Amino acid sequence: MNDLNNPLSSNRRQFIDQSVNGFGYAALAGLLGSSAQAGDKHYKGIIRPTHKAPRAKCVIHLCMAGGPSHLETFDYKPAMKKNDGKDMPESFTKGKPIAQLQGRQKLKILGPQHEFKQYGQGGNWMSNIFPHLSTVSDDLCVLKSVVTSQINHDPAHTVFNTGTSLPSRPSMGSWVNYALGSDAEDLPGYVVLTSEGGGQAQPIASRQWSSGFLPSRFQGVSFNSVGDPVHYVKSPAGVSQSQQDKLYAAINKINTHSNQQFKDPEIETRIAQYELAAKMQMSVPELTDTTQEPQNILDLYGAKPGDGSFASNCLLARRLVERGVRFIQLYHRGWDHHGGVKKGTELAANYVDQGCAALIKDLKQRGLLDDVLIIWGGEFGRTPMAQGSGRDHHIQGYSMWMAGAGLKGGQSYGETDELGYAAVENPVHVGDIHNTMLDLLGIDHLRLSYKFQGLDSRLTGVDQTRSLVDVLS
């Protein structure tokens, strides 16, 4: 039946449109898209029980958007320092994709712009731009041989989030939300926070946390870092709770009646999202009010309530973990340093260093770190070759780190060559990171699939991937 010709559907649409324009409660539900998991319909996941005993309950992805230089952060290359300013051997770059340096003659080596030192009992190498993160070196498992397939920002983000450069695929947070649901009954199961500072802030499209072909209830919900965390979370002036309750009851009745006719999963989602919107009007203000945090915790993070900083977002990530949210993404936009890489990496690190270290320390002191997988890194790295005073995009080998979930800290895994150009020991593909994440959550990546266009689609796709859990534990 064509619902455009259905009087009930038409009246329903008019009623909702008018209601949303008049009531913040319904507007909040609309803003959420279809991300609800609440009430007696609280979604508990498609994989129950998990395929194996999980070692992590949730994931925090700290995305350093723009592509941090591994050569100024975690990959110490004394040979580069020795050969600073010399021609880059053509044997490294011939036939390899480079972004803006492609086709240029006489590429020059740019030596490390910061001093490196080994930290902790494990002896991880880190540059001096991370005075706080270096204090938790023994909690970090540094991956020094990560490779990806896309050399420009947006498609590289898409690969890391979805496992493919194809558009309209579900993000990894949506896959996890679909697989396991969430323990939070009054918050979305997948929350996104953003901040910026330290360099060119490349835009991040909201489709990076899209549910793609999965039902829209599994998409990420972006919270504002400044002001109201979610639009319309407060009721408009003059609208009482009883009025909102009556509106919700009427909308729910219409939705339920329509769903009995059409059996549309998106209508079921819409019913649930109004329930979640109602609960979020209570839970979100309490969640984001960090003024009641002890001063020593605010000082630990370097956070000021309401400042919208990465540090404050890290504190919110800990609070989201405590409330059972399954997947949390923090994007910090400021790591794109085509020029001025020395000062730029120092500035960008200054924005994120204390918050990252504090998040690990805070989770650890609360006994939560073993239940959480933290993933830190960008969409790619930067070239060993100079681009003026900066570095170009680079996909052949770069660094990330993981912490928590029972992984062994104070270690590094994989290596790039002596000039930091290509992964030469234990390459780690993006699909391997996805596989490892799912494994830690108790999910067999081959058994997490969704029928789409006649195929059983997976986050890890059809390429051969491996879990690193055994070698990193």
Greater confidence (102 vs 129) lies with 129
Span between the terminal Cα atoms of the chain, in Å: 55
Pairing of β 58-65 and β 327-333: parallel
Q: Which residues lie closer than 8 Å to 451 by C-beta, 6 or more apart? A: 457
* DSSP per-residue string spanning 17-48: HHHHHH-HHHHHHHHTTT----GGG----SSS
pLDDT at 238: 60
Mean pLDDT rounded to a whole number for the chain:
88
Cα–Cα distance between 145 and 382 in angstroms, integer? 13
Element (H, E) at 118: strand 116-119
C-beta separation of 348 from 198 below 8 A: yes
Say yes or no to pLDDT of 383 above 50: yes
pLDDT at 207: 94
Q: Which residues lie closer than 8 Å to 49 by C-beta, 6 or more apart? A: none
Greater confidence (31 vs 137) lies with 137
pLDDT at 276: 66
Say yes or no to pLDDT of 2 above 50: no
Cα–Cα distance between 347 and 349 in angstroms, integer? 5
Q: What is the mean pLDDT of residues 81-90?
A: 96
Residue 259's pLDDT band (cuts 50, 70, 90):
low
Cα–Cα distance between 174 and 204 in angstroms, integer? 17
C-beta separation of 284 from 229 below 8 A: yes
Q: Which of 241-245, 285-289, 460-464 has the lowest mean pLDDT?
A: 241-245
Say yes or no to pLDDT of 243 above 50: yes
Cα–Cα distance between 182 and 45 in angstroms, integer? 8
Closest by Cα among 469, 238, 253 to 373: 469
In Å, how far are 13, 24, 25, 238 from 19, measured between CA atoms? 10, 9, 9, 15
With tokens 């400021």, the residue in question is 334
Q: What is the mean pLDDT of residues 71-85?
A: 97
Q: Residue 372 has which token pair?
A: 């959480």
Q: Running DSSP on this structure, what letter comes out for residue 200?
A: B
Residue 414's pLDDT band (cuts 50, 70, 90):
very high
Pairing of β 221-222 and β 190-196: parallel
Closest by Cα among 77, 111, 125 to 401: 125
Closest by Cα among 362, 277, 278 to 316: 362
Say yes or no to pLDDT of 341 above 60: yes
pLDDT at 184: 94
With tokens 């003659």, the residue in question is 105
Pairing of β 398-404 and β 141-147: antiparallel
Cα–Cα distance between 461 and 191 in angstroms, integer? 24
Could you give the angle at which helices 153-162 and 172-180 cross, rounded to 10 degrees?
20
C-beta separation of 437 from 375 below 8 A: yes
Say yes or no to pLDDT of 110 above 60: yes
Calculate Rg over the CA atoms of the chain.
23
pLDDT at 201: 87
pLDDT at 21: 39
pTM over 0.75: yes
Cα–Cα distance between 83 and 80 in angstroms, integer? 5
Residue 280's pLDDT band (cuts 50, 70, 90):
confident
Residue 265's pLDDT band (cuts 50, 70, 90):
low
pLDDT at 466: 97
- Residue spans of the domains in the chain: they are 43-226+307-472
pLDDT at 227: 75
Is the link from the previous residue into 167 a cis peptide, with omega within 30 of 0? no
User: What kind of fold does domain 43-226+307-472 have according to CATH?
Assistant: Alkaline Phosphatase, subunit A (3.40.720)
Cα–Cα distance between 271 and 268 in angstroms, integer? 5
403 forms bridges with which residues in the sheet?
374
Residue 248's pLDDT band (cuts 50, 70, 90):
low
pLDDT digits (tens, 9 = 90+) for 417-438: 999 999 999 999 999 999 999 9
pLDDT at 444: 98
Closest by Cα among 293, 302, 305 to 349: 302
pLDDT digits (tens, 9 = 90+) for 177-193: 999 999 999 999 999 99
In Å, how far are 64, 83, 100, 108 from 390, measured between CA atoms? 17, 16, 12, 11
Q: Residue 452 has which token pair?
A: 């789409």
Q: What is the mean pLDDT of residues 357-364?
A: 98
